[in-house]
Amino acid sequence: MAITVKFFASLREQIGIENTTQPFREGMTPAALWEEVVPGQPLPGNVLVAVNMEYAGPEHLLTDGDEVAFFPPVTGGGA
Amino acid sequence: MSITVTPAPFEPWETLRAHELQLARRAKVGACAVFVGTMRDINEGDGVRAMTLEHYPGMTERHLERIAAEAKARWSLEDVLVVHRVGEVTPADPIVLVAVWSGHRREAFEACRFIMEDLKSKAPFWKKEQLDTQARWVEHNTPGH
């Protein structure tokens, strides 16, 4: 299995990746995953992280097969 | 409880009317509070011609369902309806409809506002504006309180 990684909105455009997969390693966290997928660019402080479609912290312990999403602050709704 | 994220244009007052008919004039309902958010043609001083609303399929719906369930746990509500548009919208198009039915006005007003504010601060939606000469992502919401 592997970790599925998704980027949304402005972050997707900046990084140039929409979806990718990364091999799972024991003890992996979203922060560590970010460093592997986006090398040389520190995880921006305002980026939100979701694991399996639930908000999670950058140090959340991942499990093989997890889906991890990185996205900018949300701006839904009208007016 | 009805939660919909739709790429198709919707007419909030017709959606509301259809939902009202489904409720079949329940006598327990004494109040209905409604919020409709529409697209404006100006933001931060610039004219906006169109906007693309992006979401995270699966997570967005799940989060909206959770907000509605939380509102139902906090207040005594008869029903909750949330419709949110995604895709390309143009000025004056409806973006969001939140309607809450309850026994009394306090629950309806408070729950409607709670759902709307929680949606704006936590539900994964993003807006990209098309201006006259460039496109830009909306980076933050206007305060609601």
Set of chain B residues whose Cβ sits within 8 Å of the Cβ of A75: 120, 125-127, 137-141
- Per CATH, the architecture of A2-71 is what? Roll (3.10)
Q: What is the pLDDT of residue B44?
A: 86
A12, A15, A55, A74: which to substitute to probe chain B, counting the most B Cβ within 10 Å? A74
Q: Give the pLDDT band of residue B142 (cuts 50, 70, 90).
A: confident
Of A8, A71, A76, the CB nearest to B120: A76
ipTM of the complex: 0.94
Q: What is the pLDDT of residue A78?
A: 75
Domains of chain B: 2-137 (3.90.1170.40)
The C-alpha atoms of residue A67 and residue A57 are separated, in whole angstroms, by 14
Task: Report the DSSP pairing between strands B94-102 and B2-6.
Answer: unpaired
pLDDT tens-digit readout, A3-61: 999 999 999 999 999 999 999 999 999 999 999 999 999 999 999 999 999 999 999 99
CB-based burial label for A30 (10 Å; 0-12, 13-18, 19+):
buried
Domain ranges of chain A: 2-71
